[in-house]
Amino acid sequence: MVHGKVTGQLEKMAAGGMVGIEGPMGRFAYAGQPAAAFIAGGSGIAPFMSMLRYIAAKKLKGRFILFYSARTEDGVLYRKELERLQKINPDIKVVITLTREAPDGWAGECGRLNDVMIKKYAVDPGEFSWWACGPMELINNMKACLAGMGVDVKKLEFEGWG
């Protein structure tokens, strides 16, 4: 299994090892936008979970799309909860794409997130408010991709690393 920097280090640790954590450091906030699109790469899914939980619990009406890029099917975090959130609020759509494999029976997308994939699910991307969290390569690619589709990059909130 391929991991990111943090996951790889955690896997090497012995049981009972100490880990230091600081934060939260993020600044994302969902402010009730009726058309909201979230782009997550790997562990960048974390800040969106509270937003999606809120949207589902309040049964907010609108168009809510999570584009979630993971390397492998085993690397998809919160998979069962994401499925449950879509059932609670059918206005939530979760699109998962795998970048390093295309397993037999996989019903999701494969490959890096791109304009074709985005337009398939967010027909009018310029109507959405956008958030992105993940590696800086993903953030920079998505900024360029969305700008190329006519999205005002001022409508993009992002947090990245690496």
Q: What confidence tens digit (pLDDT) does each residue in 109-126 have? A: 999 999 999 999 999 999
CATH class of domain segment(s) 33-161: alpha beta
Q: Provide the b/e sequence for 101-136 (b: ≥16 CB within 10 Å).
A: eeeeeeeebeeebeeebbeebbeebeebbbbbbbbe
The SS3 assignment for 104 reads: coil
Higher pLDDT, 64 or 10: 64
Q: What confidence tens digit (pLDDT) does each residue in 26-42 have? A: 678 899 999 999 999 99
Give 131's DSSP letter.
E
